[in-house]
Every structure is written in structure tokens, then in C-alpha cells.
């Protein structure tokens, strides 16, 4: 009996040891994934189009082949429908002072446009641009996109909030990390499946964020889109829209004279 008890203790100890090793291995794998460097991609230009140089672009969305844009600055903020080929503004709804327009999302028949510091999001009818509602929120409004079920919003911090399109209430928050470190200054957003692409404010960088984990899985170099002459008088890169018809993206910036269709491709090895 004593030998049997001793044997059982050895078996239990062995099982516990194996379980601990398995747990340690799992944690190590999770840590490696969380701290892994993101893929290095570049924006390869496929086509270029005219863009209104007076547009202080804050949000960009392409839905059913129609391009929508939101612009900022007090007294110059507006919601727009733009002809992609010519850059001509086909439809416009001004956002009156004192509001400073920010990010834009298209959710079914509605357009949601943020304000920067007034903690209001205005809802417009997609066809008529008539304002049909508004919601409040806490903090600043920067970027916004719609993933088919919920709205995703940035505030310039390292946290994205997932919100109800019916009430704008926060459903969950996702803290964004790159190689294990928080990444802030997340600005204009574009939802693509379970990923969110975000402009990193004041840089020529776009990051791809896995919304299931908050991890940055790719860092995209979008520098060099404008020629030196075109860069005169412009502001930062800001504006990203996905074209599901061919998998390309549309990129522009504040006061940019051009809008670019690009593919995100692996960067050449250094």
C-alpha cells in the first residue's frame, strides 16, 4: 500500500510538472507574439487623382464606389461626397462654428462625423446629407470607422473604443500595442475585417491593428507620395479608405493636392 501511494504521488507530481511546463510554454509563446516586430510594408502607388487643396482632410470612406470625406478647421469643416476621378465636390454639408470636424464613418444609410473637442458626433442621412441625430461622448474625437457591426473610434490615445451605431455607447475598449509597448496618436481609421488601419498623427506611417488583441501587426511606410513641389504648404498624411473591389487603399492628407490609390506591399529588405 505504501508503495502504491508513493507511486501515485509520483504520477501526480509528474502530471503537475507537465502542466506547469505547458503553461510556461504557452505564456512564452504569447509573450513572443505580443512583443514581435510588426511586418514592414510600403504603400506602392497604383494611380493618382486630383484632390481639393483647401480640404483639411479628417476622414475618408469609400462605400459602394462612392467617396465620402470629412474636413476640419473651425468655419471650414464639412461633410462631402467627392468625385474620385476629378476631385470635384458633388455634395456638401457645412459643419458650422464653433465645431471642428473630425473622423467620418459610413454605417448603412447613415454618416457619422465626429467633432474634435465638443464631444458630439453628428449623424447625417447618407443620401440627402440632412442631419438626423447626434450623440455625446467623453474626450476628444479623432478617427472613426465602421466594421459592419460596430463603430471604432480613436481619441489620440493608445486606446480604441468600440461603440454601438444605435446609441454610440462604448461596448468595449482595445489598448493598442506595438512590440509590447503602447502606441498612441492613433488618428484617422479604416476598418477592414477584424483589422483597423490607423494613421499615426504627424508621421507618414499607417499601422494595421488586430482588434482581437490590440497588437500592431504591420507598419506601413507611406512617405514620398507627394513630390517636393506638391508638399509646399501641405499638412500631414491623414485619410485612408479601403476599396473592397480590388483590395487597394486610397490615401491623402490635410491640404494635399493629390489623392493616391495604393497597394500595401512588403518592404524591400535593408
* Shared domain check, 4 and 97: no
* Shared domain check, 26 and 78: no
| Tens of pLDDT, residues 243-261 | 999 999 999 999 999 999 9
3-state secondary structure of 94: strand
* Shared domain check, 207 and 74: yes
pLDDT value at residue 31: 45
Which triple of cell numbers denotes residue 88?
A: 470635384
Which triple of cell numbers denotes residue 202?
A: 504627424
* Shared domain check, 97 and 25: no
* Shared domain check, 157 and 144: yes
The proportion of the chain whose per-residue pLDDT surpasses 90, expressed as a percent, equals 85
* Shared domain check, 78 and 96: yes
**Per the structure, how many domains does the chain have?**
2
CA distances from 69 to 16, 84, 90, 105, 203 (A): 58, 11, 11, 9, 20
Contact 222, 236 (CB under 8 A): no
- In the block, which residue shows the cell 479623432? 142
* Shared domain check, 217 and 173: yes
Please give the Cα distance from 172 to 21 (Å, whole number).
Answer: 33
Please give the Cα distance from 92 to 270 (Å, whole number).
Answer: 45
- In the block, which residue shows the cell 486606446? 159
* DSSP-assigned states of every residue in 99-136: --EEEEEEETTEEEEEESSS-EEEEEETTT--EEEEEE
> Which CATH number fits the domain that encloses residue 231?
2.120.10.30
- Eight-state DSSP code of residue 37: P
Which triple of cell numbers denotes residue 90?
A: 458633388
* Shared domain check, 109 and 136: yes
* Shared domain check, 45 and 29: no
* Shared domain check, 135 and 14: no
| Tens of pLDDT, residues 233-245 | 999 999 999 999 9
CA distances from 62 to 27, 171, 192, 216 (A): 40, 25, 12, 23
Parent domain of 31: 1-35
Q: Which residue has the higher pLDDT, 7 or 185?
A: 185
**Residue 72 pLDDT more than 90?**
yes
Q: pTM of this prediction?
A: 0.86
* Shared domain check, 173 and 57: yes
* Shared domain check, 217 and 190: yes
Contact 191, 184 (CB under 8 A): no
**Residue 125 pLDDT more than 80?**
yes
pLDDT, average across residues 207-226? 97
CA distances from 142 to 5, 112, 231, 261 (A): 65, 12, 23, 23
Amino acid at each position: 500500500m505504501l508503495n502504491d501511494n508513493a507511486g501515485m504521488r509520483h504520477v501526480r507530481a509528474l502530471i503537475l510538472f507537465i502542466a506547469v511546463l505547458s503553461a510556461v510554454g504557452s505564456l512564452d509563446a504569447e509573450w513572443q507574439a505580443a512583443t514581435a516586430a510588426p511586418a514592414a510594408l510600403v504603400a506602392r502607388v497604383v494611380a493618382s487623382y486630383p484632390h481639393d487643396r483647401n480640404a483639411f482632410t479628417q476622414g475618408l470612406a469609400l462605400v459602394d464606389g462612392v467617396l465620402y470625406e470629412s474636413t476640419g478647421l473651425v468655419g471650414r469643416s464639412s461633410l462631402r461626397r467627392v468625385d474620385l476621378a476629378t476631385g470635384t465636390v458633388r455634395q456638401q454639408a457645412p459643419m458650422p462654428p464653433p465645431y471642428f470636424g473630425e473622423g467620418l464613418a459610413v454605417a448603412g444609410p447613415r454618416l457619422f462625423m465626429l467633432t474634435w473637442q465638443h464631444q458630439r458626433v453628428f449623424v447625417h442621412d447618407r443620401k440627402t446629407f440632412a442631419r438626423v441625430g447626434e450623440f455625446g461622448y467623453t474626450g476628444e474625437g479623432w478617427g472613426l470607422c465602421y466594421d459592419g457591426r460596430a463603430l471604432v473610434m480613436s481619441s489620440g490615445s493608445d486606446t480604441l473604443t468600440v461603440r454601438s451605431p444605435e446609441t454610440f455607447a462604448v461596448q468595449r475598449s482595445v489598448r493598442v500595442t506595438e512590440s509590447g509597448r503602447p502606441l498612441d496618436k492613433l488618428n484617422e481609421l479604416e476598418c477592414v475585417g477584424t483589422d483597423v488601419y490607423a494613421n499615426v498623427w504627424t508621421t507618414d506611417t499607417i499601422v494595421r491593428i488586430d482588434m482581437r488583441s490590440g497588437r500592431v501587426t504591420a507598419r506601413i511606410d507611406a512617405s514620398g507620395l507627394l513630390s517636393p513641389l506638391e508638399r509646399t504648404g501641405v499638412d500631414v498624411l491623414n485619410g485612408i479608405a479601403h476599396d473592397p473591389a480590388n483590395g487597394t487603399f486610397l490615401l491623402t492628407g490635410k491640404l494635399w493636392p493629390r489623392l493616391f490609390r495604393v497597394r500595401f506591399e512588403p518592404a524591400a529588405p535593408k
